[in-house]
Amino acid sequence: MRLLGLISLLVVLAIVGVAVSRQLQAVGRVPSPAASAAPPAANVREASQQLQEQVRRDVTKALEQGARREEPEQ
């Protein structure tokens, strides 16, 4: 009985391992839009500042789009 439990556990681990490896391969093939849009930063501080500026621009753009949607049509 214990042998059957051990075999079942190994089969489940193998299935999960195959699923994880396929997901990781799929994610690796998709290029990141943020990575291609900005040049690589020389250090952590510059990378952090670039990321903060990108988030700031994205939030501002989203707020502007929301404001345009809420404007009453005439």
Residue 59 pLDDT: 93
User: Average pLDDT per run of 10 along the chain, which is 74 residues long?
Assistant: 90 92 74 54 83 93 85 66
Longest dimension (CA), the chain: 75
Q: What are phi and psi for residue 11, nearest 5 degrees?
A: -65, -45
Residue 38 pLDDT: 56
Residue 30 pLDDT: 46
- Do 11 and 44 reside in the same domain of the chain? no
- Do 42 and 23 reside in the same domain of the chain? no
Distance of alpha carbon 16 from alpha carbon 25, whole angstroms: 14
- Do 11 and 42 reside in the same domain of the chain? no
Residue 68 pLDDT: 82
For the full predicted model, state whether its pTM sits above 0.95: no
- Do 41 and 23 reside in the same domain of the chain? no
- Do 38 and 24 reside in the same domain of the chain? no
Residue 26 pLDDT: 75
Full residue range of the structural domain in which residue 8 is found: 1-30
